[in-house]
Every structure is written in C-alpha cells, then in structure tokens.
Structure 1
Amino acid sequence: MSIIKKLASQTAIYGLSSIFGRFLNYLLVPLYTYHFSAAEYGVVSEFYAYAGFFAVLLVFGFETGYFRFRDKNDPQRDSAYSTALWFVLGANLVFLLLIRLVRTPLSEALHYAHHPEYVEWFAIILGLDAIASIPFARLRAENKAFRFAGIKILEILVTVGLSLFFIAYCPPLYAKNEQVWFAPIYDPGIGLGYVFIANLAASGVKFVLLTPQLKGLIWGFDRVLFRKMVGYSLPMVVIGFAGIVNEMLDRALLKYLLPHDPLMNMRMLGIYSACYKLSILMSLFIQAFRYAAEPFFFAYADKSDARRVYADVMKYFVIFCMAIFLLVTLYIDFFQYFIGREFRAGLGVTPILLLANLFLGIYVNLSIWYKLTDRTLMGAFVSLGGALITIGLNLWWIPHYGYVGSAWATLACYAAMAVVSYLLGRRYYPVAYDLKRIAFYIAFGLGLYFAREPLLTYGYRSWQAGTLLMGSYLLSAALFEFRGLFHFRKKLPAGDSGKSLGPGRK
C-alpha cells in the first residue's frame, strides 16, 4: 500500500496541477462558446483535432523511448536524453521549414485560403510543444513534479490571460474608442485568430522556462543508442497516432460526413466539441495518472511484488474514474452552464464520452504488458485495430446518427482495445487483476446513473437525487475497500511478495 500511496501522491501533484491548470483552461470553453458562434468554434476544434495527430508524429515516440533507455546510474550525463533531444529538435526544425514553404496550398486544401497564418501559427505551436516534451519527460523521470506542474500551470495562465484580454476585454472597448491604449497591439480583424496567438505566446513562454533542461544537448548524439531507441520508439508513434485517431478523428470527419450544408456541419462540430469538453474531469485524471504511472511502471518492474501492485493500481483507478463519471452525469444540470446555450443540445453524448474515457484509462493500465516486455510493435497493432474500429464506425454511424454516432464509436473503440489488451497481457505479462471487483464498480456506477431519472420522476430535485446517488457510491466503495484492505493485511503471510502470480514470458 505504501507503493500505491507514493504513486497516488505523484498522481495528486500532477493531477492537482492539471486540474488547476485545466480548470483555468476550461474557462476558455465558456469564453469561446459565449463569444463565438458554434460554426466559429468548430474551426478551433478542427485545428486542434489536426494538431493532435501532429503532436504524436513530431515526438516520434522518443518520450517513452527515453524512459526505457535512460541511464539511471549517471543521470547527470544521460546520453539517452541528449540523443532524444537532438533528434526531436532537428526533426521539428525541418517540419517548420516545410510548413513555411507549403502554407499557402495547405491552407487552401483545408478551406482556409483567407487565413494561411492559422496554419503557420499552429505549426510553430506544435514544434515548440514537441521539443518541450523531452525536457518534460526528464522532469518526470527525476520526480520533479512541482517544477513540471509549475511550468504547465504558467503556460495555461498565459493562454487564459491573453485569451481573456484579446477576446473579452479588447473588442467592446475598441468598438467605443479606437484610440484606446492597446490599439497598437490589437486588430479587430484578427478575431478568431487570437485563439491561436494566445496559444503561441504560451508555448513560447513554456519553451523559455525549459531552457535549463536544454543544456543536455552538450552530452552529444549516440548513434548506436539512437538505433535502439528508434526500434523501440517508432511503434510508439503508431500507438500514439492510432490513439489520436480514436480521440480526434471524429471531429475531423464530422465536417465532411454530416448530411447537412457546410455551415450546419460546422455548427454540429462546434456543439459536439463543446460537449466533449464536459468529460474534462475524466481526461484530467487519466492524464495525471499517465504522467505519474509511466515512469512508476518502469521503475517498479523489477520488484518481486510488482504485478500485485499493478493489480491494486487498476482497481483503485476504476473506483476513482467511476466516481468522476457519477459526479459529472449526476450533476449535469450544473455542468451544462460551462457551455453556451446553443451548445447544450448535445449534452446527451457526455455520459457516453465519459464512459469511453474510463475504458481508455483501463487500457492505459493494461498497456504495461507490451512496454515492459519490449513488445511495442504488438501494442501498435492493438492501437491500429482500435483506429480501424474508429474509422469504420464513424464512416458508418455519422451519416445516420450524427455526432451521437461518433460518441458511440469512441466508446466501442476503447472498450475493444481494453479487452484485446487484457487478453494479450494474460499471455505475455500476466497480472491477477480483480476483474469481479472492477466489473462490480462499473456496473454499480451505471446502475446509479440510470436511477437518477426515476428519482426525478418521484419528485426529487436534481441536486438531491445526485447527492443521494453519489453518496451511495462513495459510501459503498469506502466500506468495501476498507474491509478488503483489513482482510488483506490480516491474511497476508510474512514475506509474501506476490510471486504466486508467475513470471511473465518474454
């Protein structure tokens, strides 16, 4: 339990910073949805969907590759870090040069011929973020969670501050008097472009703050190690790319597959994207867990009780995720005010997307089997299978069911990936997950969710029904886990370290 508490504390640091930072960033959702139309917000959503794909491609999997090959004995002169940093830096400079050369035809192909600057601004954001991912990985490996969190929060503060300034503060004052003090730096014609400018400035600030970590470049480039890292990391690109397909492709396809006119399609895209944001709490927790768990899984792998610890981590992870699912869905009447009235027509997809993120988190836990046994290529095939499910179901369901079909496709994809990953993990790195208890918490949480409507019918107010059902879940989880922990400690033989689970076959 002390190991799980340590992981939980690291997750809490990353999580609290992410929650605080994302909460600030989340303020942008009402800012955008109250100041821009659904069609305009659809433009922002589309660019971020494309950005997700490039964010994976431009890191080349070297973030995870660094964790695998980093020198724990001599971290002050880690050639794995310098090699990864040199490669990612060089590759992104080439990427920015190419975008500069093709920005006009590329913007025309995306139907943004009048705004080629959007393409170039976003390319710079992507390049800076990709280069920064390696220094961030080093901070995680060195357990410098507070520095990591501080830089992330400051980046978001800059984004939020500039967004509020250019989108909410400047326009009404400029409309009254064009001689205002900020006139030299404000152009009302940019409009939606200030969303990208704010993000670009924040990425620049983040990059400057990470410059102390860039001194690792002086350690040089190890060609032999680079070949090993490429062999390990490139399948991670496939995995990451497939993951972005699963997460972002629906927003890229809605514009083209919805059976409406182009303006209405962009409006539907904006509504779906805004409602997707309501699953932010689940995404936050999964992101924080990833930050803490990935280096933890690698560092703890050689311990004799590792598999038992991994099983416990999975169980507590599901318990917490179902609590988040219930928090959002049972109090949806409150959360709906975080988006504009025009966007609330899509609230029905929020429970589906929350459940989809739950299965994504389960898959993240299960993915240790291919990372710890160096079978990243097999993990890539699992992710590719999920991507094919996403593509096929979106092509099938969007024309018939609109963005609701996209939400169900996301759930089907992540659930299938979790099942396949579990079955492969049983063969290559067996872990005795408590499937009965995990299934119970998921079924119990869904039952409480469906019990909300009958309670409202019987006269309960929304907050009363939500509090009763949420309290029932939390109380049940506390009783079950406290009792289970008591019996576990009582029955555990002295010296038992979980070896009965058997060795993994590599």
Structure 2
Amino acid sequence: MQTFVLVKNQRKVSNLHNAIRRSKKTNLHPMTLRKLAGDTLIYGSGFILGKVLNYVMIAIYLTWKFDGETEKYGLYTEFYFYVALLLVILTLRMETTFFRFGSEDGQKSKAYDQAAMLLVLTSGIWIACLFLWNTEIAAALQYPGFEMHIVVLGLVLALDILVAIPFAALRLEERPLRFAALRISGITINVIAVLGFLELMPILADGGNAFVQSWYNPEHSLLYVFIANLLGSLFVFLAFFSRYFKMKWNFDKELSKRMLRYALPLIIVGIAGVINQSGYIVLLKTVLPGDLMTNLSEGGVYAAATKIAILMSLFITAFNYAAEPFFFNHSKNKEAKQTYADVAKAFTLVGTTLFVGILMYLDLIQLMLGSSYRTGMHVVPILLMAFFMLGLYYNFSIWYKLTDRTRYGAIISSIGALITVGLSFYLIPLFNMEGSAWATLACYTFMAGACYVIGKKYYRVPYDMGRIGTLVLLALATYGISVFVNGLVDGPLGITLAINTALMGGFLWVIFGMEREMIVSVLRKRSGG
C-alpha cells in the first residue's frame, strides 16, 4: 500500500529531519503518519466507500426489502460467510505472501507471476467442483433447491480469486487511486444491478413488459442479488484481464514452495478470522433452540446489528489495507519500530473516537435498518469494542509477518476461533444473540493480548500501552456515563441526543488535550507550515 514517499534528495531529507524535530515530544514521524493516514483515506475511498456502497446500498437496503423476512436476510448472510471462508482458502493468502516476496529486490515480477499462476489453478479446480457437485453442496447446507444460487455465488468467488493478486499488485505498486476506481466501479455496478432487479424489474413486469414478464420472478429476489454481484465482479475481472497476457507463465517450483510454506499459517489465520468475524450466523443457526427458519431469523437480526458495528470494522479494514504493505516497506528503516508504535497509538485515537461517536448517535443510526431488525441494537457496543480489539491485533501482529514466524499467527488465531466457537456454544443458549457478541469480544481481546505479549520476545515494539489503555478506558467511561445519565433522565430522543452530543464534545476535548502534538503533526501540511 502506498505509505511513504522515498526520500530521493537532500532537500527532502532535511524536511524530514525538521518534521521529526518539530514532533520530538511524541517521537512521532508526522510525514510518515500523514502518508499512512492519506493512504488509509484513499484505500478507504476504494475499499471503505466500496464497502459502504455494498453494506448501505445492499446489506442495509435489504433489511428494508426483506423487512418481516429476517430469515431471508439470515440466509443471505450465511451464503456470504461461505464465500468469505472459501476466498481465504482458495486465494491461499497470496496477497500477503506477494507483499512479503514481492518487496524483495528484483523479485516483484517473479513473485507476482507465481502467485497469479497458483490462483488460476485454485479457481479452475473450484469451478470444476462447482459444476460437478452443486446439488450435493446445496444438500449439505440444508438448502435443496438453491443450486442456482450456489452456482452464481461460486462464479463470483472464482472471479474474486482471479483479481486478488492484480489488486495486491496495485497496493504494492502504491497506486491507491486506480485501486479505488476499480473497487468503486465494480461495486457501483453491483448496486445498480441490485436496484434494477429489485426495484425497476417489478415495475416493468407489473406494467406489462412482455420480455421482463417472461423471466422475472419476485420469489427469486435473493438470486437476483447474487447475479448483481456476479456482474460487478465480472467487470473488475475484465479490467484486469490483460495482465494475464503480460505474465511470464514459467512455473518456479522452488519459489512457489517457499511462498506456500510462508502462506500456510496465514491461511489458518484467515480461516480463523472469518469464523471469528462472520461465523456467528452458522453458530446461531446451529446452537439456538428453534427450528431452521426461526434460528435464521434470529441470525438475520444479529447480522443487521453487525452492519452498524461494521462502521468500526470498515475503518479497521481500510487501515489494514494501507498498513500491511506500509509495515513491510518500512521494515528496514532504523526508526521502523518507533513508527509502528506511533501508528498503533494513532489507530487507537481514531478507533476510540469512532466507538464513542457511533454509540452517542446509535438512536439515529439504527433508523437505517428496517424496523424488524432494530431489536438487536443492544449487541452493538459489544461488537464495536470487539472490532476495535481486532484492529489492535492487526497492529500487534506485524512482528510475526516481518520475522517469518507466521506459525504463531496461526496458533493465536486458531485458539481465538476455538474461544469463539466454545463460548458461543456455552453463551448463546443462555443469552441468545448477545452470547455470540460476548464470544467475539473475548476472542479478539485474547488475540490482541497474546500477540502483544509474544511479540515482545521476537520483535519488541515500544507501544505506549499506558496511553492506549487510557484512551480505551476514557471511551468506555464516556459510554457508561451516557447510559447512566440517559437512564436517569429518561427523556425523548432530542434530550438523549443533546446529552450525548455534550459527552461527545467532552471526549474530543479531553483526547485533543492528551494528544495535541500527534493530532497537529498529522494534520499539518507536508511542508511543515
């Protein structure tokens, strides 16, 4: 990811030294952090804006379209859980592996070619399995009759596998604008197609359009959502298609073995991550005492609540997209460890602000959802803190990637997944969906803590844990005061929002006082003016 401008002449070196001297009280490297912040925003426009389009214009829109049909929303969520899980397995985590091997001198093209060839192989195997055994897959999932849904989503998965390395190359080549343009274009096509299928086609069919009437069936609304996704993915694949003709199709057995050896623990990390973040839908479907449709309905309500908490997750995802190549590109700088510590503190500052901001205005934000889905808002604070802890884990996990000890990441993530599953089986029968949220928080808290403690042994980064902990406690205290005061007042929405706005202002005032040096240095123009 685009993160830091290489210093090519003495003038830039001088500017950098001046900037560092200006921020000596915080040991902050403002130009570096501004660059990472800028890239996070650009990747945010590509990934987050894309996700916002996807989540708001599709996922949240569907809570209105499927209002009163929460089980259908649960089914939608479950299908995409399987897509996310298979994407981790079938991409072989080659994006991160490509960053690791492609950042070596003179190895970018060779690493790209080997990674891309491996994914052509996995996507081909997947497509063959899809067409041979879609009926068996549908039966195994307890959804006979959904074979076409599975085929369409399976093709989406295949196309997403094939564009994984081209997208990763844009990140390593520091081309976030093209990355953003392609992401947004693909998802925009997806959104337009969803609206076309679910809004325009019914109007045309009711108006007597013979062509639309010949194929459109409102009972197949979920299938049309998947077809829309396929159209968006196909557009992105075609945009990258020419790259496959520019590759050198020379298989390097030794390099591929090294890459796969590096990637294997990361695949385990990825599988555990998907289970931790999205496996709730299968756990709720399995563990809740109701029948299949009742449990899917409960899962649909919980899934909608996660779409509110996903506002935190989107920031974390954009941060991770920008930070991962950033960490690799700066690993050889002598100030790298201090920079990583500064990044973690900056992440905490933004993350805790998001936590407080979302919760102070949750009564308004929840109105985005269809009325059938608002009963799950009590899990949002738990999920927000869980996703924040996941972000800290991403910060703390850099040591095992830089030192090629990815097996530790696999072990930590696997234990985290076991915590999620184990606690879910224990807590869901007791607390329903809230049990799933607490299991997720416990998992990510363990992962962040374990990664920090073990990392001190192999790659000690001087994280300011005192300040990080203070910011987290301040955010939790602000939320706690809001709950207490509003419980006493028990006023209308306007009074609640006024109280929460005052608390939000107080929180911002306190953290600005605490971190004035860092905030000002990041916001200051690169010229240092």
Q: Same fold (TM over 0.5)?
A: yes
Distance in 2 separating the partners of 1:173 and 1:276: 34
Match for residue 133 of structure 1 among 164, 171, 175:
164
Q: Aligned residue for 2:372?
A: 342
Match for residue 100 of structure 1 among 111, 131, 150:
131
Contact in 1 for aligned 2:386/2:445 (Cα 8 Å): yes
Q: 1:144-155 to 2 correspondence within 5 Å?
A: 144-155=175-186
Match for residue 412 of structure 2 among 379, 382, 387:
382
Q: Aligned residue for 2:317?
A: 287
Contact in 2 for aligned 1:81/1:134 (Cα 8 Å): yes
Is 1:479 the counterpart of 2:513? The answer is yes
Shift of 1:484: 6.6
Is 1:69 the counterpart of 2:101? The answer is yes
Shift of 1:191: 2.2
After superposing the two structures, state which structure 1 stretch, 211-220 or 296-305, moved more. Answer: 211-220
Cα gap change, 1:124/1:481 in structure 2, threshold over 3 Å: closer, same or farther?
same
Distance in 1 separating the partners of 2:347 and 2:125: 40
What amino acid sits opposite 2:232 in the alignment? A
Contact in 1 for aligned 2:114/2:251 (Cα 8 Å): yes
Cα gap change, 1:253/1:216 in structure 2, threshold over 3 Å: closer, same or farther?
farther
What amino acid sits opposite 1:5 in the alignment? R
Match for residue 49 of structure 2 among 20, 24, 42:
20
Shift of 1:61: 1.6
Contact in 1 for aligned 2:277/2:440 (Cα 8 Å): yes
| Percentage identity across paired residues of the two chains | 38
The alignment's TM-score, normalised by the length of structure 2, stands at 0.88
SS at match of 1:190: helix
Q: Aligned residue for 1:218?
A: 248
Q: Aligned residue for 2:502?
A: 468
Shift of 1:23: 2.4
Cα gap change, 1:477/1:213 in structure 2, threshold over 3 Å: closer, same or farther?
farther
Q: Deviations over 1:226-270 (max 9, x none)?
A: 111111111110111111111122111211211112221111011
Contact in 2 for aligned 1:71/1:80 (Cα 8 Å): no
Q: Aligned residue for 1:58?
A: 90
Distance in 1 separating the partners of 2:445 and 2:325: 25
Contact in 1 for aligned 2:283/2:421 (Cα 8 Å): no
Contact in 1 for aligned 2:103/2:329 (Cα 8 Å): no
Contact in 2 for aligned 1:83/1:222 (Cα 8 Å): yes
Distance in 1 separating the partners of 2:431 and 2:45: 37
SS at match of 2:91: coil
Q: Deviations over 1:396-452 (max 9, x none)?
A: 111221111000000000000011000111100001110110001000001111111
Is 1:9 the counterpart of 2:38? The answer is yes
Shift of 1:224: 1.4
Q: Deviations over 1:141-189 (max 9, x none)?
A: 0000000011111111011111111112222442x33326644563334
The count of residues paired between Structure 1 and Structure 2 equals 485
Shift of 1:480: 1.3
Q: Aligned residue for 1:490?
A: none
Distance in 2 separating the partners of 1:118 and 1:43: 11
Q: Aligned residue for 1:88?
A: 119
Q: Aligned residue for 2:26?
A: none
After superposing the two structures, state which structure 1 stretch, 276-285 or 210-219, moved more. Answer: 210-219
What amino acid sits opposite 1:477 in the alignment? I
Shift of 1:100: 1.0
Shift of 1:219: 5.2
Q: Which runs of 5+ in 1 are unaligned?
A: 488-506
Contact in 1 for aligned 2:197/2:224 (Cα 8 Å): yes
Distance in 1 separating the partners of 2:60 and 2:388: 25
Is 1:123 the counterpart of 2:154? The answer is yes
Cα gap change, 1:370/1:180 in structure 2, threshold over 3 Å: closer, same or farther?
same
List structure 1 runs of 4+ shifted beyond 6 angstroms. 484-487
Q: Aligned residue for 1:323?
A: 353
Contact in 1 for aligned 2:285/2:295 (Cα 8 Å): yes
Distance in 2 separating the partners of 1:353 and 1:4: 27
Distance in 2 separating the partners of 1:140 and 1:63: 10
Q: Aligned residue for 2:23?
A: none
SS at match of 2:167: helix
Distance in 2 separating the partners of 1:477 and 1:186: 55
Contact in 2 for aligned 1:13/1:149 (Cα 8 Å): yes
Distance in 2 separating the partners of 1:27 and 1:349: 22
Contact in 2 for aligned 1:31/1:168 (Cα 8 Å): no
Distance in 1 separating the partners of 2:261 and 2:187: 34
Cα gap change, 1:72/1:260 in structure 2, threshold over 3 Å: closer, same or farther?
same
Q: Aligned residue for 1:242?
A: 272
Cα gap change, 1:350/1:216 in structure 2, threshold over 3 Å: closer, same or farther?
farther
Match for residue 425 of structure 1 among 449, 455, 460:
455
What amino acid sits opposite 1:50 in the alignment? Y
Distance in 2 separating the partners of 1:485 and 1:13: 19
What amino acid sits opposite 1:322 in the alignment? T
Contact in 2 for aligned 1:29/1:339 (Cα 8 Å): no
What amino acid sits opposite 1:131 in the alignment? L
After superposing the two structures, state which structure 1 stretch, 233-242 or 247-256, moved more. Answer: 247-256
Contact in 1 for aligned 2:134/2:147 (Cα 8 Å): yes
SS at match of 1:191: helix
Aligned-residue CA RMSD in angstroms?
A: 1.8
After superposing the two structures, state which structure 1 stretch, 112-121 or 163-172, moved more. Answer: 163-172
Shift of 1:124: 0.9
Q: Which runs of 5+ in 2 are unaligned?
A: 1-29, 522-529
SS at match of 1:475: helix
Match for residue 265 of structure 1 among 291, 295, 312:
295
Q: Aligned residue for 1:32?
A: 62
After superposing the two structures, state which structure 1 stretch, 103-112 or 342-351, moved more. Answer: 103-112
Cα gap change, 1:73/1:378 in structure 2, threshold over 3 Å: closer, same or farther?
closer
Distance in 2 separating the partners of 1:425 and 1:477: 28
Q: Aligned residue for 1:451?
A: 481
Contact in 1 for aligned 2:284/2:433 (Cα 8 Å): yes
Q: Aligned residue for 2:425?
A: 395
Distance in 1 separating the partners of 2:399 and 2:148: 43
SS at match of 1:461: helix
Cα gap change, 1:462/1:180 in structure 2, threshold over 3 Å: closer, same or farther?
farther
Contact in 2 for aligned 1:135/1:214 (Cα 8 Å): no
What amino acid sits opposite 2:259 in the alignment? M
After superposing the two structures, state which structure 1 stretch, 182-191 or 345-354, moved more. Answer: 182-191
